[in-house]
Every structure is written in C-alpha cells, then in structure tokens.
C-alpha cells in the first residue's frame, strides 16, 4: 500500500488523534493518513490511503513517512511538514498545497468576531456569503 500511495505525484496528508489503551488509562496517539486520488486528473491508478501511527505529533513523523518522496502535498499548516518543503531536501523539496477547508475555518472565525451590522439575515446569512 505504501509503495502505491507514494507512487503518486499528489498526496493529501493529515493526522488526527486516536485513543490508545495503556496500562490503567487511555492515552492519545496520532493516526497519520496519506491519500492519493488521481481520478480528478484523469489518472488510471486506483485511489488509496496509507496510515501510520505515532505516540505524538512531532514533525519527524511526516518527514520519516515521506522520506524519498517528492511531489505536491496538500495539508494543513502544521509546522511539522515544513522540513519537507526545504529547498535542500533530497531527492527534491515537496511542494506545499494549502488546504481550503482549513483556510475556510479562519474565515468563519473572522465572521464570528466581527460586530453585527444588521439584524437582517444574522450570522447564518453571513456564513452563506463566505
């Protein structure tokens, strides 16, 4: 699965928390996901996802996971990806493609923070206009 996913020119990368049972308690781990889907670009390869687990969210994890891969990575603005974008990275730097879903969250926060200027439509209408 790893080889198939990393054969793509474009990947989407993200991580999320996952509860992990430990001795007498539950701890929080990270599940890293790398997805390829070339269908929007006319690619014949089937879409696939590759998952990795870690105990923490250190930036070394995406660096290790994507070692030897170069291409376009769509991800959030997590600083742990930054080493992938270094100009000196081998075999080549990864090109960052920002995530619109994450950018949109910031726009919603701005809309919530601004003072209400009219009673007509309210905040729900403001959100539809973003």
Q: What is the pLDDT of residues 85-113, one digit of tens each?
A: 999 999 999 999 987 877 788 888 888 88
CB-based contact 123:111 (threshold 8 Å): yes
- Do 14 and 78 fall into the same domain? yes
Kindly state whether residues 112 and 74 are assigned to the same domain: no
Q: Are 52 and 65 in contact (CB under 8 A)?
A: yes
Residues 64 and 38 in one domain: yes
Q: Please indicate, yes or no, whether residues 52 and 88 belong to a single structural domain of this protein.
A: yes
- Boundaries of domain holding 82: 2-98
Task: Provide the domain count of the chain.
Answer: 2
Tokens (6 digits) for 40: 């929007």
**90 & 73 share domain:** yes
- Over the stretch 3-23, which tens digit does the pLDDT of each residue have? 999 999 999 999 999 999 989
Interval 34-90: pLDDT, tens: 999 999 989 999 999 999 999 999 999 999 999 999 999 999 989 999 999 999 999
Of 48, 45, 83, 77, give the one whose Cα is nearest residue 65: 83
Q: Residue 107: its pLDDT value, please?
A: 84
Q: Are 19 and 28 in contact (CB under 8 A)?
A: yes
Q: Whole-model pTM?
A: 0.78
Q: Can you give the pLDDT at residue 21? A: 95
Q: Measure the CA–CA gap between 89 and 68, rounded to whole angstroms.
A: 9
The per-residue pLDDT for 98 is 84
> For residue 101, what pLDDT is reported?
77
Q: Do 94 and 105 fall within a single domain?
A: no
29 and 72 co-located in one domain: yes
**Distances in Å between the alpha carbon of 130 and those of 49, 110, 113, 121, 126?**
31, 10, 14, 14, 7
pLDDT of 110 reads: 86
Do 40 and 6 fall into the same domain? Answer: yes
Does residue 74 share a domain with residue 115?
Answer: no
């Amino acid at each position: 699965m790893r080889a198939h996913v990393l054969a793509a020119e474009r990947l989407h990368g993200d991580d999320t928390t996952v509860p992990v049972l430990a001795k007498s308690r539950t701890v929080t781990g990270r599940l890293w996901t790398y997805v390829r889907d070339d269908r929007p670009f006319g690619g014949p390869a089937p879409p696939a996802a590759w998952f990795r687990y870690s105990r923490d969210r250190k930036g070394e994890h995406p660096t290790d996971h994507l070692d030897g891969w170069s291409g376009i990575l769509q991800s959030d603005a997590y600083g742990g990806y930054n080493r992938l974008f270094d100009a000196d990275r081998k075999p080549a730097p990864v090109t960052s493609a920002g995530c619109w879903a994450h950018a949109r969250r910031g726009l919603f926060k701005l809309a919530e923070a601004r003072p209400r200027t009219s009673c007509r439509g309210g905040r729900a209408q403001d959100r539809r206009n973003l």
